[in-house]
Amino acid sequence: MGPKRSVPSGSKSAPKKRRKVMNLKEKVELLDMLRSGKTAAAVGRHYCVNESTVRHIKKKEKEIREAIAAAAPTTAKYLHKPRDPNLSRVESATFFWVLDCYKKGIPIDSGIIREKAKSLYDFLKENEGEGSTSADFQASKGWFENFKKRFSLCSVKVMGEAASADQETASVGQEAARESPETPKKLIEEKGSIQLLHFKLDCSDVPEVNVLERSFSVHKVHSVKDMENIFQLVRNVIPPLTTKKHKGQDGRIGIVGGCQEYTGAPYFAAISALKVGADLSHVFCTKDAAPVIKSYSPELIVHPVLDSPNADQEVAKWLPRLHTIVIGPGLGRDDTLLENAKGIIEKSKVRGIPVVIDADGLWLIAQQPSLIQGYQRAILTPNYMEFSRLYETMFRTSVDSNDNHRCVLRLSQALGNLTVVQKGEKDIISDGEKVLVCSHEGSSRRCGGQGDLLSGSLGVLAHWAFLAGPEKTNGQNPFLVAAFGACSLTRQCNNQAFQKYGRSMTTTDMIAEVGMAFSKLFET
């Protein structure tokens, strides 16, 4: 064999071509192209990848769509195994159990907490039977450290006048524990709190006022400085107006609702979305509602499909083009429409689309909480009555009107840390970790349709905040930021319209104020 040729001095080898790594959003779009009938070769050329890569992604379709449904960021380039839902339930149960022990003054340490969590998990796994897909759970030290961070247990402390009484209780509890060494064992083996795994907790088993500091870390939004900080986060996520964009980039919003009795609500939601800054608003309504809604405005795209036999499939065709779905305005409570709305929610979850649920959409959730439970890209916007119905469904007890903040927090946690916006004299917003209070000045006028303005504007802001990413929201939950922005905007519109029309003000008057209110709050 001849000698190797020497490389001329000073010459450099060509840089190695970097392999293209597609994120989840691109993979879903690729899969949708394949579903539309395009060949693997054509799709590969479109994305500048090998045909074998396209076929490999096709094989992984189920895992990719499951990752989207589990609320994985669509910009993620690698799949992570979805979190065990049983573990989430066990952690919630353990969290409430710890608080209960704290109130009663029962001394517990990390070892007892870990054993309790493992005991609950094993109990749940055993109940699933031989077909259980749950993995083994060891409640390791690493898990416990993450559990502490997730629930901020280090921040639990007694506040106010209750401190001395609880300290006395604690000392009694510690004395009792020394006299009865079997107490920790009994605490671990007791399965009473397993009912929390199904979120059907009797509130008498939970501490009355033990408040977590983390739950109210942004609670004091009444100060001008803190409110301004949150307003700045909203301003950060608003996309700038530029001539380089094309139609649709700033938001394509879908409104699911509108029947013979209720045609105003979907119109208010859809037109509000356009007024806030969305490029396109679609309304998916019943056949008899469509002509009426179309007559309100030529700017809306109206689909008369909601009462068709395959309504969910008809709407699913449009989901790849939509950024947010708002479900509920003008939906009504007809069984067929509710069943179709259920199918649309399921299909939206599979695609990882943010979902805002309002009005009769909340009635559906109150009947079937599991439909949305754990989907953290959902935002619920109940008024007081709707909130009470949801709360009683989850906890089998009525709302404590003296502690609305804690009730909103608990409901969010019970639903899997969704964002919940309780509308009222002050709008209370929580994602199960933090609580925001929007007390921006509105008016005393409560005409019908204001909630539709809120849900429509929230649909747009949720898309913008989600797209902006954590660097623009300072690490805050984007849906918290969006909800605060939508609540503030609705209140500002209410205030401006009331100044002009007083008692005769209607939601139509409020919608006319959206542009000026938006500019005043977020652009000056």
Q: In the chain, what percentage of residues exceed pLDDT 90?
A: 52
- Domain boundary (219, 250, 272) is at 219
If you ran DSSP here, which 8-state letter would residue 253 be given?
Answer: E
Task: Tell whether 383 is in a known binding site.
Answer: yes
At 249, the amino acid letter reads: Q
Task: Tell whether 452 is in a known binding site.
Answer: yes
H-helix segments, 317-426:
335-351, 360-367, 384-395, 404-414
Task: Tell whether 328 is in a known binding site.
Answer: no
Neighbours of 382 (CB within 10 A): 25
pLDDT for the residue 20: 67
Task: Tell whether 432 is in a known binding site.
Answer: no
Q: Nearest CA to 463 among 163, 248, 247, 253?
A: 253
The model's confidence at residue 268, banded by pLDDT at 50, 70 and 90, is very high
Average pLDDT over residues 391-400: 92
pLDDT for the residue 167: 43
For residue 79, is pLDDT > 90? no
Question: Is position 184 within any domain?
Answer: no
Radius of gyration of the chain (CA): 26
234 and 215, same structural domain?
A: no
Report CA-CA distances (Å) from 266 to 2, 260, 298, 510: 80, 12, 14, 15
Report CA-CA distances (Å) from 517 to 87, 316, 334, 483: 44, 34, 36, 16
User: What is the Cα–Cα distance from 44 to 54, expressed in whole angstroms?
Assistant: 6
Task: Tell whether 444 is in a known binding site.
Answer: yes
pLDDT for the residue 101: 74
Question: Is position 199 within any domain?
Answer: no
Task: Tell whether 284 is in a known binding site.
Answer: no
User: What is the Cα–Cα distance from 440 to 487, expressed in whole angstroms?
Assistant: 8
Give 183's Cβ-side CA count (13 Å radius). Answer: 15
485 and 336, same structural domain?
A: yes
> Which structure tokens are listed for 269?
């939601």
DSSP secondary structure of 188-235: HH--GGGGGGGT---GGGS-SS--BGGGGTT--TTSHHHHHHHHHHHH
Task: Tell whether 37 is in a known binding site.
Answer: no
Question: Is position 36 within any domain?
Answer: yes
Q: Facing residues of 33 across strands?
A: none
Task: Tell whether 475 is in a known binding site.
Answer: no
Domain interval for residue 50? 24-70
Within 8 A by CB and 6+ apart from 115, the residues are 139, 188
pLDDT for the residue 295: 96
335 and 277, same structural domain?
A: yes
Question: Is position 5 within any domain?
Answer: no
Average pLDDT over residues 136-150: 82
Task: Tell whether 317 is in a known binding site.
Answer: no
Task: Tell whether 129 is in a known binding site.
Answer: no
Instruction: Give the count of domains, the chain.
Output: 3
491 and 346, same structural domain?
A: yes
The model's confidence at residue 274, banded by pLDDT at 50, 70 and 90, is very high
Q: Nearest CA to 94 among 197, 240, 163?
A: 197
Task: Tell whether 236 is in a known binding site.
Answer: no
118 and 45, same structural domain?
A: no
Question: Is position 260 within any domain?
Answer: yes
pLDDT for the residue 32: 82
Task: Tell whether 103 is in a known binding site.
Answer: no
The model's confidence at residue 189, banded by pLDDT at 50, 70 and 90, is low
pLDDT for the residue 68: 66
Query: Does residue 432 or residue 178 have the better pLDDT?
Result: 432
The model's confidence at residue 204, banded by pLDDT at 50, 70 and 90, is very low
For residue 481, is pLDDT > 90? yes
Task: Tell whether 250 is in a known binding site.
Answer: no
Task: Tell whether 448 is in a known binding site.
Answer: yes
Within 8 A by CB and 6+ apart from 379, the residues are 354, 355, 356, 357, 418, 419, 420, 421, 458, 462, 479, 482, 483
The distance of Cα 261 from the centroid of its chain, to the nearest Å, equals: 29
SS3 280: strand
Task: Tell whether 386 is in a known binding site.
Answer: yes
User: What is the Cα–Cα distance from 177 to 180, expressed in whole angstroms?
Assistant: 5
Task: Tell whether 425 is in a known binding site.
Answer: yes
Question: Is position 505 within any domain?
Answer: yes
pLDDT for the residue 303: 98
Question: Mean pLDDT over all residues of the chain?
Answer: 81
For residue 158, is pLDDT > 80? no
- Domain boundary (196, 219, 242) is at 219
298 and 400, same structural domain?
A: yes
The model's confidence at residue 254, banded by pLDDT at 50, 70 and 90, is very high
- Domain boundary (175, 195, 219) is at 219
> Left (φ > 0), alpha (ψ -120 to 50) or beta: where does 332 sit?
left
CATH code of 445's domain:
3.40.1190.20
pLDDT for the residue 217: 34
414 and 332, same structural domain?
A: yes
Question: Is position 157 within any domain?
Answer: no
Q: Kindly tell me the sign of the dihedral angle through the C-alpha atoms of 499, 505, 508, 511.
A: positive
DSSP secondary structure of 165-194: HHHHHHHHHHHHHHH-TTHHHHHHH--GGG
Q: Nearest CA to 216 among 69, 55, 435, 500?
A: 435
Task: Tell whether 426 is in a known binding site.
Answer: yes
pTM for this model (two decimals): 0.62
User: What is the Cα–Cα distance from 221 to 230, expressed in whole angstroms?
Assistant: 8
User: What is the Cα–Cα distance from 309 to 438, expressed in whole angstroms?
Assistant: 41
110 and 238, same structural domain?
A: no
Candidate from 38-42, 193-197, 388-392, 442-446 with smallest mean pLDDT: 193-197
227 and 215, same structural domain?
A: no
Task: Tell whether 501 is in a known binding site.
Answer: no
322 and 214, same structural domain?
A: no
Task: Tell whether 447 is in a known binding site.
Answer: yes
Within 8 A by CB and 6+ apart from 134, the residues are 84, 86, 121, 124, 125, 128
Q: What is the pLDDT of residues 347-373, one digit of tens each?
A: 999 999 999 999 999 999 999 999 999
Task: Tell whether 451 is in a known binding site.
Answer: yes
pLDDT for the residue 96: 76
pLDDT for the residue 358: 97
State phi, psi for 353 to the nearest 5 degrees.
Answer: -85, 135
Question: Is position 19 within any domain?
Answer: no
Report the first-to-last Cα separation within the chain, whole angstroms: 77
SS3 331: coil
pLDDT for the residue 152: 61
Candidate from 67-71, 168-172, 266-270, 451-455 with smallest mean pLDDT: 168-172
Task: Tell whether 388 is in a known binding site.
Answer: yes
User: What is the Cα–Cα distance from 192 to 194, expressed in whole angstroms?
Assistant: 5
385 and 488, same structural domain?
A: yes
User: What is the Cα–Cα distance from 307 to 284, expressed in whole angstroms?
Assistant: 10
Are 323 and 252 within 8 A, CB to CB? yes
345 and 396, same structural domain?
A: yes
Task: Tell whether 449 is in a known binding site.
Answer: yes
Residue found under tokens 């899997």: 416
Task: Tell whether 446 is in a known binding site.
Answer: yes
